[in-house]
Amino acid sequence: MDAILVRGGAELNGEIPIAGAKNACLTLMPATLLTDQPLTLTNAPRLSDILTMTTLLQSLGAEVQPLQGGRVLALSSHDLTSQHADYDIVRKMRASILVLGPLLARYGHAEVSLPGGCAIGARPVDLHLKAMEAMGAQMDLRDGYVHATAPAGGLRGAVIEFPFVSVGATENALLAATLARGTTEIRNAAREPEIVDLAQCLRRMGAQIEGEGTSTISVQGVTQLSGATHPVVTDRIELGTYMLAPALTGGTVECIGGRMDLVAAFAAKLDEAGIEVTETERGLRVTRKNGPARAVNVVTEPFPGFPTDLQAQMMALLCTAGGTSVLEERIFENRFMHAPELMRMGAKIDVHGGTATVTGVDRLRGAPVMATDLRASVSLILAGLAAEGETLVKRVYHLDRGYERVEEKLRACGASIERVKE
């Protein structure tokens, strides 16, 4: 099994190109199921989660052709052969549930296994199912599968009011509503940039959508959608992760393709912590010049708030910040699994329920640590960059789900990091 070996202590200086967003690409790819014409996605990230979605779509009979080394994905659902999303693929990735809405909208039925994904809390899919029900679908849970059937004549436009914000459920509802009869209003919709990106792509395909990026999205259903070419939006989580690297080690890193509007709440916290973030012509430049960061309090929230997907990485920074920080995780239960691993590196962290109190120490010490999920794994790498001595991060298959060429990107800025076999 692969592991990542980090020798800490080097200041980072240089530039890091930011890839297209994994989470946007994972919701854009199932949009192919809505049309028999080709959909081309450019700026796609090269990640194992994208390969999993590729396998899932291919199992339904869709064509997914990676071009330019995977940077471009040419998709076609001209000849779909199946509406059955199998457990063996779905269990690897929770985002697989996103084929439900499109299959139901175009074919009137779907069988989708209940998903797996990162072990960060219960993560049910009840809101996805309720959204389909609101559009008239009959949902039957049997043998670990959702068996969904649209009413005769197809899904009907409806008012879908979510009790709380869900990115995935908003995406599934939006995908399905494009081909539903009549108007759908999605209330308490997620406002994440990935939703905006999906709406823009669907509009290119001929969908009639208004209000993406706000809490109410209106969709006027159309009878069919056409093909399109769409560039995947920049990955704001990869961006935030690499913005933290010089914040931990000192130095200056320019994140190419970075946009302030994607990470405003996060950048505001860095500023509060004494880390300088400036917009450049090509992206965002981050500098830590005067000693370690200052403690800050962080609460994770749906966009435009501080993203839960940057909480673990932010914790790595706060482990060596001056003073005591409080991190409150409000999106997922059980998302502090990186805390005990950071403590093995000498961090002082107290976790009580959804709150972690971090008291900064002068220096972390390298140690063998275990990645427990995608964002946790990269937080351990960040901590390793700032630690004294060697950190060996095990179980990095989590990392490969969401970060492309992480060791190359960091090495180019002067980090001592390599992939090793255990």
Residue 215: exposed, middle, or buried by beta-carbon count in 10 A (0-12, 13-18, 19+)?
A: middle
The answer to whether residue 23 forms part of the interface with ligand UD1 (CB under 6 A) is yes
The answer to whether residue 195 forms part of the interface with ligand UD1 (CB under 6 A) is no
- The answer to whether residue 25 is catalytic is no
Instruction: Choose between 332 and 336: whose C-beta lies nearer to ligand UD1.
Output: 332
The answer to whether residue 182 forms part of the interface with ligand UD1 (CB under 6 A) is no
Q: Which of 92, 94, 269, 288 binds ligand UD1 (CB under 6 A)?
A: 94
- Tracing tokens 């140690």 back to the chain, one arrives at 367
Question: Contact letters (x/-) for ligand UD1, 316-345, by CB under 6 A?
Answer: ---------------xx-------------
The answer to whether residue 169 forms part of the interface with ligand UD1 (CB under 6 A) is yes
- Tracing tokens 């792509």 back to the chain, one arrives at 201
Query: Which one of the spans 8-16, 124-132, 200-208, 248-256 is the region binding ligand UD1 (CB under 6 A)?
Result: 124-132
The answer to whether residue 387 forms part of the interface with ligand UD1 (CB under 6 A) is no
The answer to whether residue 176 forms part of the interface with ligand UD1 (CB under 6 A) is no
The answer to whether residue 399 forms part of the interface with ligand UD1 (CB under 6 A) is no
Instruction: Return the half-sphere exposure (C-beta side, CA atoms, 13 A cut-off) of residue 10.
Output: 14
Q: Which two tokens stand for residue 137?
A: 């679908």
E strands, 86-169, are 109-113, 138-142, 145-149, 159-161
The answer to whether residue 26 forms part of the interface with ligand UD1 (CB under 6 A) is yes
Q: Which of 12, 18, 28, 95 binds ligand UD1 (CB under 6 A)?
A: 95
H-helix segments, 232-272: 236-249, 264-272
Instruction: Return the half-sphere exposure (C-beta side, CA atoms, 13 A cut-off) of residue 56.
Output: 34
How far lies 24's CA from each of 45, 98, 234, 247, 278, in Å? 10, 12, 9, 26, 25
Instruction: Choose between 136 and 168: whose C-beta lies nearer to ligand UD1.
Output: 168
How far lies 166's CA from each of 18, 41, 251, 274, in Å? 25, 24, 37, 32
The answer to whether residue 128 forms part of the interface with ligand UD1 (CB under 6 A) is yes
Min. distance of Cβ 140 from ligand UD1 in angstroms? Answer: 17
DSSP for 343-404, written as a single string: HHTT-EEEEETTEEEEE--S--B--EEE--SHHHHHHHHHHHHHSBSEEEEE-THHHHHH-S
The answer to whether residue 243 forms part of the interface with ligand UD1 (CB under 6 A) is no
The residues of the shown chain that bind ligand UD1, judged by CB under 6 A, are 23, 26, 94-95, 121-128, 166-169, 194, 308-309, 331-332
Active site residues: 118
